[in-house]
Structure 1
């Protein structure tokens, strides 16, 4: 087994220095080494241990000096761990993500040639499409700590304090060589011509713009919004890199099912069928349904009932996912699923049989019975 010894040494040195940020960074790097060498379970245990033991380390005497609101004394940012969940993007999103990472890694070379661009990435799209996850992966790819702005602390009811808090955040992060993630960016960067907003809130937008302009070229800011139309145009111009994270297309949905439901072991090609029947779901929806079905299987000491997942997908959703039932489908429920798959999606008997875990003859019997009823 090949392990980068520098990661081991860094972990030991960080632990002896009681430097929580470096401990987590080195431990995650070591976990990636273990995962690449097939020690997946140990890698997961190490990551879980780092998340679990963070508070005792701080209690031992290490306290990171985070910027705080002057009145409430609440921290304005919080450090978060790098994500374990992979990201799933369409082709256009992958290109922007890859370009951003490549430019960030070679920012000094690009600056020397006058080619550097501000390292600002703006993510837009509905909830559950992976904006926060993507910010975490950027930090992981660049081996930088991830600081997330706490809007509940930054936005103050006292006039003037919000702008001051924003300046504190932008003064703090560059010195940490970190990735700053501003979620719900529209909360502090709305259109300045909005007649319903107070003058103070318009000054907050100006403060955000000035703070972005004052960053050095190597500073990384990732912002996210669910309401792109609310952002001030000047904010858009401060983020050269942009990714619109819409609902996943059929191919990406299949990849999501393959990972979360089939655990990347889909020899029968069922993930593609799930991708077809799950139009309109976000990545978070697919993850939630997949993990729910897998938990049911563990509790009932049985294999996953893929048919129960499809049955939930076929129910009217009205903008929200339908829970996957805990008990396996009975014969009548399987018949209804087989009929629906044929009528709505023209999915054949052999594919339906693979999903429901029954024989082709059973599917043909279901469909023949339907013809007889008609």
Structure 2
């Protein structure tokens, strides 16, 4: 492979200046050139070398040169740690992600056969369904750095700066062999026929499209949005893998309650299944939050999780407020409400309901009768 003199000079200048970002960028260009010249082994060896973290530079005080907004000097992307929270997905979403991960792991083989595709994933769904968590898990599964776009820095009030920031972001990510996560993507990729927007929006969307088109097949971009209907159709076409994250189904909810509330104790599986049946209106994030709140109270009070209080919080989730009530004794009205809830939705016998509420079976029967007479 022949390397022209200007490229060689830039490489040495960057190395002497400890400009690790430029070293990796030029190295990536050389690796691609080796691959184009049918020397895949050398290309892979160079890419493996580029993936190293540059320990000597870090020891000498090197700080990674992130792209920044010219006005605020805030970084446009930030590297985040891989998540430690487990991921729970419905079967359909899980199948699509597994297929994507398999394709990403075999991109070199697919490229050699001429069937590679761009490694872009578009995640869409309601808030709290786990889009950000899933993006982090994809990076972890592929053992790639996880860079998250900071839209507060990318979007500028100055004319033309937003497009410039987007270009800088897309120029940066190929040098890192990383995953770039664009959350709330509708903020920079909105429908271009929106009559209420100015021409600046069209320029921004075009810049995003050009940035996506400029990436090589091995670069991974994950977009996410809570408002898929706002995205420009051209954006959809740039992402070959699309995953709709819906509210967790009953099996997933049961697994979440068992993990987050009961720490995977199999003896509590029946309670986890009951909670799953009753929490159909809750998102995964709400289940996790309520479980952890209940565990905190349990640890502080040195008592098992208070199931009736958790059930009241689930009942409140239908009003959008799934928080634990104060640790008070249940009132007759609360017991009555829970009895009806457990009969109608929990499908529990009255004897089991009585034991759960700390009353007699006759009292449960009375609650239900009073509830029926009051209708």
Kept in 2, the 8 Å contact 1:146–1:179? The answer is: yes
Structure 1 unaligned runs (5+)? 1-16, 20-57
Kept in 2, the 8 Å contact 1:144–1:177? The answer is: yes
Alignment partner, residue 250 of structure 2: 250
Is 2:367 the partner of 1:366?
no
In the alignment, the residues of structure 1 paired with residue 282 and residue 368 of structure 2 have an alpha-carbon distance, to the nearest angstrom, of 31
Larger Cα-atom Rg: 2
Alignment partner, residue 77 of structure 1: 77
- How do 1:197-276 residues align onto structure 2 when only pairs under 5 Å count? 197-268=197-268, 269-276=270-277
Judge which range, 296-305 or 82-91, deviates more: 296-305
CA drift of 1:371 comes to 5.2
1:180 aligned counterpart, secondary structure: strand
1:235 aligned counterpart, secondary structure: helix
Alignment partner, residue 306 of structure 1: 307
CA drift of 1:345 comes to 4.2
Q: What whole-Å deviation, never above 9, does each CA across 1:190-232 have from its counterpart, x for those lacking one?
A: 1111111111110110110011011011000000000000000
CA drift of 1:351 comes to 5.2
CA drift of 1:304 comes to 1.1
Judge which range, 194-203 or 235-244, deviates more: 194-203
1:279 aligned counterpart, secondary structure: coil
Alignment partner, residue 339 of structure 1: 340
Q: What whole-Å deviation, never above 9, does each CA across 1:250-306 have from its counterpart, x for those lacking one?
A: 221111111111111132421111111111110000011000001111222222112
In the alignment, the residues of structure 2 paired with residue 243 and residue 350 of structure 1 have an alpha-carbon distance, to the nearest angstrom, of 44
2:293 aligned counterpart, secondary structure: helix
In the alignment, the residues of structure 2 paired with residue 357 and residue 188 of structure 1 have an alpha-carbon distance, to the nearest angstrom, of 52
In the alignment, the residues of structure 2 paired with residue 242 and residue 176 of structure 1 have an alpha-carbon distance, to the nearest angstrom, of 24
- TM-score (ref. length: structure 2): 0.79
Kept in 2, the 8 Å contact 1:305–1:328? The answer is: no
2:114 aligned counterpart, secondary structure: coil
Kept in 1, the 8 Å contact 2:281–2:317? The answer is: no
- TM-score (ref. length: structure 1): 0.79
Alignment partner, residue 65 of structure 1: 65
In the alignment, the residues of structure 2 paired with residue 271 and residue 260 of structure 1 have an alpha-carbon distance, to the nearest angstrom, of 10
- How do 1:6-45 residues align onto structure 2 when only pairs under 5 Å count? none
Alignment partner, residue 140 of structure 1: 140
CA drift of 1:367 comes to 1.9
Alignment partner, residue 128 of structure 1: 128
Structure 2 unaligned runs (5+)? 1-17, 21-57
- How do 1:153-168 residues align onto structure 2 when only pairs under 5 Å count? 153-168=153-168
| RMSD (Å) for aligned C-alpha atoms | 2.3
Aligned residues: 315
Kept in 2, the 8 Å contact 1:82–1:140? The answer is: yes
CA drift of 1:349 comes to 3.4
